[in-house]
A and B are shown apart, each in its own frame.
Chain A
Amino acid sequence: MRKWGTIAKHEYLYNIRRKEFLFVTFGVPLFILVAGGLPILLMGSTMSTEEYRIGYVDKTGLFEPANFTEYANEELAKKGILDSKITHFFVIPENYTATGRIEIFSTKRDFAGSRTIEDQIQGFLLGNLLKGEKGEIIERAKRPMNSEFFTLDEKGGTSREGISTILVPIAFAMLFMMSIFTSSNFLLQGVVEEKENRVMEILLSSVSYKDLLTGKVIGLGAVGLTQVLIWKSIGITLLLSNPIVAAVILDKINVSVPILVLASIYFISGYFVFASIMAGVGAIATTSREGQQMAGIFTITGAIPLIVSEYIIANPNAILSKALSFFPLTSPVSMILRLSITEVPLYEIIISILILVASTYFIIELSVRIFRASLLMYGKKPTISEVIKYVQKN
């Protein structure tokens, strides 16, 4: 095995067994689950134990009871609630057909249940109003529209638009940013720690600076990717375990295979641009906190396409959109956004990928020099002019 491979393997295995890694990787989803799931669970328990029994007072004489209880007047309905025969009742006033006004009464404040009550009453009202129509029509009247937008191009061809098309790039962007934020921590810590624990000199007596840094970027980068992958799997498992949500998502998602392939390429190559930057930042920084502050500048730059995503979606071929899809820090997210909205010429894709790969190489090369320069000054942060001086000299 090449020496950077040995280092990458060591870094991966060493860091993946860290308590911090296990804690964050499995603790964060657990926390989200508990924090997000507990209220729903509590809500669900109150809903399921209590069944809604609904009564009504009809002053128009238009409605038939179906599965609701009819009362002659409000006084009797109130008595029904107090005797616990019903949980809710509503009043249909004489001018209902003109105003649509419905007054609902109950003894408890129940925000979670109000939606269900409304749905049930609405169904009751619609059923009565459309008496004589077929069941299908009634159902349609309840949900009259299930819409989707299409865009016409110059040749008259159509392409899908709306949420379904930007769902994929937005999901891509979120995942990408998340990966960068989490991995940048690993890389910064990994490089700064190496300087602190003094193993560096032994390593450098065996391998070159470049092998050391390349191995670290790959090994620690893989640690970050593993974490994101675990989170993603947990997320997908949870989503798919809920059949209703899964059906909605599968229905909305429409992705072409080429976009998925390109998304993976952009993800990996874009990821390693950031990873190598983090290694370089780690080389300059003397503490990981200091490194994180410096790294923030780069991660915020990476978030620019998300901030201006509306503009890119509206103008996928504007100069700014194109420029963002070439600049290595912003190109992965911008390009995937553009690709899912418009046709991007093949040469633009190739150029932007080449820029990504070349910048990873270039940044590692630069980081190696900075690393070398900063190692000369144990515990002292090199000034920018010193860094430039050393980079030029080597």
Chain B
Amino acid sequence: MEHKVEILHASKSFNGQPVVSDISFDIAPGEVFGLIGPNGAGKTTIIRMLLDIIRQDSGVIRILGSSLSDGIKDRIGYLPEERGLYKRLSVIDTLNYLGALKNKPDKERALELLEKMGLSSHKDKKIGELSKGMQQKIQIIAAIIHDPEIIILDEPFSGLDPVNTKLVKDLIIELGKEGKTILISTHMMDQVERMCDRIFMINRGNGVLYGSVGEIKSGYGKNTIFLEFEGELKSIAGVRKTNLSGNYAELILKTGTDPQDILKAVVEMVKVNRFEISTPSLNEIFIQVVEGT
């Protein structure tokens, strides 16, 4: 089957500054694909090029087998990174208008999705009266109101509380199960680690990693220990690097270190709540790739 999205050697520079250099990747039908990298890496530029909001300087971009036309735009749903809606328009009017622009105004589906996102009691309120998080959920609904084949979500979790983050995650997983092709762009790499089939990692406009999450991780071996503890963690022999955040630590081991020795050392130092031998997190992999270690 043909690719839903295909980017071949795309480059773009603004005022002589390269923002995206020679990027190539493709997204298969029904795939949940992660476009990940830090802020300013070029993710949004890639998405804008995909949607022909800006045009690449060189390279080829194909969506649904061809370049972008109005007919194809109708089959894509998009949540932009820069959120914005008409403040004085009511929720239901907003969804109807944005649906009509996709040639598919569907009031029933709009009400259904509002219900699912816990917003049906707000349907007649003006957008300006809603909280930021609610507005964001409205925009996510707007992106899928027309039941698109391809869904592009730029930073879908930013600004959401944990409850809503889970709500949106569940929605994405559900859409994935329905066979939609989904592109998630985010700098929160850990958020998408378990959701995405494959990822493309980008840094400063250059692609640095590309492939299935499992493959990428196994390439780095099981040299990482996830640790939850109480107490004070001091340096441990055999550990190359410690990523510490509160009562949680990610320990990257030197080659040849036995995890059992680490466990013994740790138990003497702190009270251990969790000890897991694993592949490194995407965050850690990214840092390693970027630092060239």
Interface residues of chain A, those whose CB is within 8 Å of chain B, are 1, 3, 6-7, 10, 14, 17-18, 197-208, 211, 372, 375-377, 394
Distance from A357 Cβ to chain B, minimum over Cβ atoms (Å): 24
Question: Does B101 contact A3, Cβ atoms closer than 8 Å?
Answer: yes
Interface 9-residue window, one of B20-28, B72-80, B113-121, B283-291: B72-80
Q: Which of A17, A204, A206, A394 has the most CB of B within 10 A?
A: A206
Asked whether, in the complex, the Cβ of A203 is within 8 Å of the Cβ of B84, the reply is no
Q: How far is the CA of A6 from the CA of B51 in the complex (A)?
A: 20
Q: How far is the CA of A18 from the CA of B100 in the complex (A)?
A: 22
- The reply to whether A199 and B85 contact each other, CB–CB distance below 8 Å, is yes
| A197 near B84: Cβ-Cβ < 8 Å | yes
Among B86-94, B155-163, B180-188, B265-273, the stretch that binds chain A is B86-94
Are the C-beta atoms of A198 and B80 separated by less than 8 Å? Answer: yes
Q: Assess whether A206 is in contact with B84, with CB atoms less than 8 Å apart.
A: no
Alpha-carbon gap, A202 to B86, bound state (A): 11
Residues of A within 8 A of B55 (CB): 394
User: Which chain B residue has the least Cβ–Cβ distance from A19?
Assistant: B88
Check if B97 sits within 8 Å of A202, measured CB to CB.
Answer: no
* Shortest distance between the CB of B16 and any CB in chain A (Å): 12
Q: Is A3 a contact partner of B70 (Cβ separation < 8 A)?
A: yes
Chain B nearest CB: distance from A383 CB in Å?
11
CB-based contact B80/A14 at 8 Å: no
Assess whether A198 is in contact with B73, with CB atoms less than 8 Å apart.
no
Contact A207 B73 (CB under 8 A): yes
Q: Are A206 and B101 in contact (CB under 8 A)?
A: yes
Task: Write the chain A residue with the least CB distance to B87.
Answer: A197
Contact of A202 among B14, B87, B142 (CB under 8 A): B142
Does B108 sit at the interface, judged by CB under 8 A?
A: no
Contact of B86 among A3, A199, A205, A394 (CB under 8 A): A199
Contact yes or no, B101 A14, CB < 8 A: no
Determine whether the beta carbon of B53 is less than 8 Å from that of A202: no
* B14, B48, B102: the one within 8 Å of A206 (CB): B102
B132-147 to A contact mask, C-beta < 8 Å, 1/0: 0000000100100000
Q: Give min CB distance, A223 to chain B, whole Å.
A: 15
Q: Which residues of B contact A394 (CB under 8 A)?
A: 55
14 new A-B pairs (CB below 8 Å) besides A14-B88, A205-B76? Answer: A3-B70, A10-B97, A197-B85, A199-B85, A200-B84, A202-B78, A202-B84, A202-B98, A203-B101, A204-B51, A205-B51, A207-B101, A375-B53, A375-B54
